[in-house]
C-alpha cells in the first residue's frame, strides 16, 4: 500500500487581529506574523496603525466595503507562494476578516489539507478593550450586536436588539453610527427603552487606545444625543450596572449569596458556597412545582414562555452533585 501523499504547504494566509490599534496592545504573535509576511493587506486605516512594522514589504491598501476584495487578493498572493498578513483591527474573528476569508477560500475549493496554510492570530476586540477603559461592565452576561445594515436586514437587527434588551444583557453596540447611517442608534435606543430603565448606564468609547481617544458616560435616555461615530463602541449596562467614581461596573452576583461586613465574607441564610443559589435551577423548579400556580400564572411571574414552564412543571427535580464548583 502506498503511503498517503504529503502535501507541501506553499503560501500562507495569516488573519491578524491588531487589537485596539496601539503597539502596546499588539500581541507578540501578531507582531511576529507581520514580520514574517511578504505581503500586508488591509483597510487603509488599519495599515496606518502598523505603518512602522511594514516597511519594505508589499502593502496592498483597500477601502471600506472591500472586504471580499481583500480576501481574494490574499488568496491570489498565497497561491503565488507568498506569506500574507491580512489584518483587521480588534480580533479578526469578531466582525473582522476571518469570516469573509473562509467564505472566499471555501468557494475556491480550499480545505485545511490544501497547499495554502491559514492561521488566525487573535487580538483584543473593541468589546474587551473599551470595557477595560471604563471599568468592569462585562462581569456578567453580555453580547455584541452590530448596527450596520450594509449586510444585515434591519428587521433582523431590531429583533436581536429587542430580545437582548428584554433579557437584560449588557450589550456592546458595534458600528453604531456613520455619516450615512444616523438613525440606527436612535432606533436601538427606542427598542431598549421598551424594556430598560431610562437611567440605565451607558459608556461610549471613541478611538480607544488611539491618540484621539474619548470616553463619555451617559444614560440610556440620552444615549442618542452623545458624540457617536464609526470609531465608537457603545456599552449599555444591565439592570444592575452602576457608575461610581468614574467607573462602570456590572456586579457578578456575589451579593445574592454573600454579605461582606468588616472585611469578612458571610453566606446568606439558605445559601452554600460552591453550590447553586437557592433560586438556581433545582431550587426554582422545586419552588414553582410547590406553588400550586398554573403554567400561565408562572409564565407571567417569571416572564418566560408558558410552554417552557409547563415542561418544567412536568419534569422531576434533579439531584445536585456533591462536588463544589468555582463560582464564576
pLDDT of residue 1: 55
The DSSP line for 7-51 is PPP--EEEEEE-BTS-GGGS-HHHHHHHHH-SEEEEEHHHHHHTG
Distance, in Å, from the CA atom of 305 to the CA atom of 177, rounded to the nearest integer, reads 34
Instruction: Show pLDDT as tens, one digit a residue, over the chain (328 residues).
Output: 565 555 666 899 999 999 998 889 999 999 999 999 999 999 999 999 999 999 999 999 988 788 999 999 999 999 999 999 999 999 999 999 999 999 999 999 999 999 999 999 999 999 999 999 999 999 999 999 999 999 999 999 999 999 999 999 999 999 999 989 999 999 999 999 999 999 999 999 999 999 999 999 999 999 999 999 999 999 999 999 999 999 999 999 888 888 877 677 888 988 888 888 999 999 999 999 999 999 999 999 999 999 999 999 999 998 876 655 656 6
Q: Do 118 and 15 touch, CB atoms closer than 8 A? A: yes
Q: Do 201 and 241 touch, CB atoms closer than 8 A? A: yes
Instruction: Return the sign of the alpha-carbon dihedral for residues 179, 184, 132, 214.
Output: positive
First CA to last CA distance, the chain: 53
pLDDT of residue 166: 97
Rounded mean pLDDT of the chain? 93
What cell numbers appear for 19 in the block? 487589537
Sheet holding 39-43, edge to edge: 58-62, 39-43, 83-88, 12-17, 117-121
Q: Do 146 and 154 touch, CB atoms closer than 8 A? A: no
pLDDT of residue 2: 60
Q: Residue 168 — left, alpha, or beta (φ > 0 → left; ψ -120 to 50 → alpha)?
A: left
3-state secondary structure of 193: helix
CB atoms within 10 A of CB 257: 19
Please, where are the H alpha helices in the chain?
Answer: 28-36, 44-49, 67-79, 98-107, 126-134, 154-167, 184-193, 281-289, 295-302, 306-313
What cell numbers appear for 13 in the block? 494566509
Question: What torsion, rounded to 10 degrees, do the Cα atoms 180, 192, 146, 187 define?
Answer: -20
CB atoms within 10 A of CB 287: 13
Pair type for strands 58-62 and 214-219: unpaired
Distance, in Å, from the CA atom of 290 to the CA atom of 287, rounded to the nearest integer, reads 5
pLDDT of residue 64: 78
Distance, in Å, from the CA atom of 146 to the CA atom of 90, rounded to the nearest integer, reads 14
The tens digit of pLDDT for each residue in 274-291 reads 888 999 999 999 999 999
Amino acid at each position: 500500500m502506498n503511503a498517503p501523499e504529503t502535501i507541501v504547504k506553499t503560501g500562507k494566509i495569516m488573519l491578524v487581529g491588531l487589537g485596539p490599534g496601539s503597539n502596546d496592545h499588539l500581541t507578540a504573535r501578531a507582531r511576529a506574523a507581520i514580520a514574517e509576511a511578504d505581503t500586508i493587506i488591509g483597510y487603509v486605516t488599519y495599515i496606518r496603525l502598523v505603518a512602522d512594522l511594514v516597511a519594505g514589504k508589499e502593502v496592498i491598501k483597500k477601502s471600506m466595503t472591500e472586504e471580499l476584495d481583500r480576501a481574494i487578493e490574499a488568496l491570489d498572493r498565497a497561491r503565488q507562494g507568498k506569506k500574507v498578513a491580512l489584518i483587521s483591527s480588534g480580533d479578526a474573528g469578531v466582525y473582522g476578516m476571518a469570516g469573509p476569508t473562509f467564505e472566499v477560500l471555501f468557494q475556491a475549493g480550499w480545505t485545511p489539507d490544501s497547499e495554502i496554510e491559514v492561521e488566525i492570530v487573535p487580538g483584543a476586540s473593541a468589546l474587551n478593550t473599551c470595557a477595560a477603559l471604563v471599568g468592569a461592565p462585562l462581569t456578567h452576561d453580555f453580547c455584541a450586536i452590530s448596527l450596520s445594515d450594509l449586510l444585515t436586514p434591519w428587521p433582523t437587527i431590531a429583533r436581536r436588539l429587542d430580545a437582548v434588551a428584554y433579557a437584560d444583557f449588557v450589550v456592546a453596540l458595534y458600528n453604531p453610527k456613520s455619516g450615512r447611517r444616523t438613525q440606527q442608534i436612535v432606533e436601538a435606543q427606542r427598542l431598549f427603552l421598551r424594556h430598560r430603565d431610562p437611567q440605565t448606564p451607558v459608556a461610549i468609547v471613541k478611538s480607544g487606545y488611539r491618540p484621539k481617544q474619548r470616553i463619555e458616560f451617559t444614560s440610556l435616555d440620552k444615549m442618542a444625543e452623545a458624540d457617536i461615530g464609526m470609531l465608537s463602541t457603545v456599552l449599555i449596562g444591565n439592570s444592575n450596572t452602576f457608575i461610581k467614581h468614574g467607573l462602570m461596573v456590572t456586579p457578578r452576583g456575589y451579593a445574592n449569596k454573600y454579605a461582606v461586613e468588616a472585611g469578612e465574607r458571610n453566606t446568606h441564610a439558605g445559601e452554600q458556597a460552591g453550590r447553586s443559589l437557592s433560586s438556581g435551577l433545582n431550587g426554582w423548579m422545586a419552588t414553582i412545582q410547590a406553588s400550586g400556580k398554573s403554567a400561565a400564572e408562572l409564565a407571567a411571574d417569571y416572564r418566560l414562555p408558558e410552554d417552557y414552564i409547563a415542561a418544567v412543571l412536568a419534569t422531576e427535580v434533579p439531584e445536585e452533585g456533591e462536588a463544589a464548583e468555582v463560582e464564576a
